[in-house]
């Protein structure tokens, strides 16, 4: 009887945790890509919830700016510059966080890059570079932190994928592929770690008004340097962060956040894919 009860309790935790919103007070939240855009907006929202923050990206001066803007005291925030391609440095970075806060509760994996190039013109090395940052670095970081969460029997992985991981669109083939791979990887992880009380939330943004298109790579790996119209007219990062935080606190498994056009496109792709195939030709 005890074994049956235990299994039932695990089932309830896995399927109904969203009923009780997660309390973020004094939780340690590590955000990658925290120097601007979505990562920056999420930092402010977590700070409002009373979380302790670790902010990582390559630009230390921008991380310092974000840290000061959160209003958190020094003991509740750690600026930790990090290049997500330096896989070998992950263990040392993790130890730095443990020495500072003693634990890691949430990992918000947001670092990445997009591109603007057709398959025909794309330099193959640029594909490799995109997959290395957008997919493999996230996998490596997850593997580095997972043993800590497994040992503590608690933790929450949050990955920022994209609606583009659900719907392939022109001039984004590498980006779409990487974001699609993230969704599949974290689906598998979720199925493996639920018994250790480790949660996984995949968030798929639509068009958010950030610098992602400006920083995107062209066919040769140089910066695109232009703001796309769809991006310029996209959802404000602050609004996105509010919606994302609500999904995280409710332990959502997968959520789509963006304009009606992008979000409905995900459902159209599922039920009337031929319509979506025609629509994306115009994008």
CATH at residue 65: 3.40.50.720
Is 261 annotated as catalytic?
no
Q: What is the pTM of this model?
A: 0.90
> Is 192 a domain residue?
yes
> Is 15 a domain residue?
no
Closest to 208 (Cα-Cα) out of 263, 134, 150: 263
> Is 79 a domain residue?
yes
Residue 171 phi, psi dihedral angles, 5° rounding: 70, 15
> Is 257 a domain residue?
yes
Which residues is 155 bridged to in the sheet?
A: 198
Q: Which residue has the tokens 């070998």?
A: 88
| Tokens (6 digits) for 171 | 């001039």
How many H helices and E strands in the chain? 11, 7
SS3 27: coil
> Which residue in the list 44, 175, 207, 256 is annotated as catalytic?
175
> Is 201 a domain residue?
yes
Residue 34 CB-half CA count within 13 A = 34
> Is 176 a domain residue?
yes
Domain total for the chain?
Answer: 1
> pLDDT of the chain along its 283 residues, tens only?
444 545 545 544 555 444 467 899 999 999 999 999 999 999 999 999 999 999 999 999 999 999 999 999 999 999 999 999 999 999 999 999 999 999 999 999 999 999 999 999 999 999 999 999 999 999 999 999 999 999 999 999 999 999 999 999 999 999 999 999 999 999 999 999 999 999 999 999 999 999 998 899 999 999 898 888 888 889 999 999 999 999 999 999 999 999 998 999 999 999 999 999 988 887 6
Write the CA distances from 47 to 52, 65, 232, 241, 267, integer angstroms. 7, 14, 26, 12, 33
- For residue 210, the enclosing domain spans 32-280
Instruction: Write down the H helix ranges in the chain.
Output: 2-16, 37-48, 60-70, 90-101, 124-131, 137-152, 173-193, 229-232, 237-249, 260-271, 273-280
> Is 23 a domain residue?
no
CA distance 258 to 22: 23
> Is 4 a domain residue?
no
Cβ atoms of residues 252 and 190 within 8 Å: no
Q: How are strands ordered across the β-sheet holding 254-257? A: 77-79, 52-56, 28-32, 106-109, 155-160, 198-205, 254-257
């Amino acid at each position: 009887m005890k074994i049956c009860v235990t299994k039932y309790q695990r089932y309830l935790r896995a399927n109904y945790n969203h009923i009780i919103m997660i309390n973020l007070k004094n939780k340690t939240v590590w955000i990658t890509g925290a120097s601007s855009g979505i990562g920056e907006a999420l930092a402010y929202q977590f700070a409002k919830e009373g979380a302790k923050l670790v902010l990582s990206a390559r630009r230390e001066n921008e991380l310092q700016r974000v840290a000061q803007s959160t209003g958190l005291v020094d003991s509740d925030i750690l600026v930790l510059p990090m290049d997500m391609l330096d896989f070998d440095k992950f263990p040392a970075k993790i130890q730095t966080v443990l020495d500072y806060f003693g634990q890691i509760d949430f990992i918000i994996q947001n670092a990445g890059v997009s591109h603007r190039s057709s398959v025909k013109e794309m330099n193959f090395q640029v594909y490799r570079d995109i997959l290395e940052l957008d997919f493999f670095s996230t996998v490596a970081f997850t593997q580095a932190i997972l043993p800590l969460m497994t040992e503590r029997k608690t933790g929450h992985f949050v990955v920022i994928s994209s609606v583009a991981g659900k719907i392939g669109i022109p001039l984004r083939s590498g980006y779409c592929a990487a974001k699609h791979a993230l969704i599949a990887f974290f689906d598998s992880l979720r199925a493996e770690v639920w018994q250790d009380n480790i949660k996984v939330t995949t968030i798929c943004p639509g068009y958010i008004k950030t610098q992602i298109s400006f920083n995107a790579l062209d066919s040769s790996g140089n910066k695109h340097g232009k703001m796309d119209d769809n991006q310029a007219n996209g959802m404000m990062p602050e609004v996105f962060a509010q919606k994302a935080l609500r999904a995280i606190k409710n332990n959502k498994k997968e959520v789509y956040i963006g304009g009606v056009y992008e979000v409905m496109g995900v459902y159209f792709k599922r039920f009337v894919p031929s319509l979506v195939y025609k629509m994306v030709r115009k994008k």
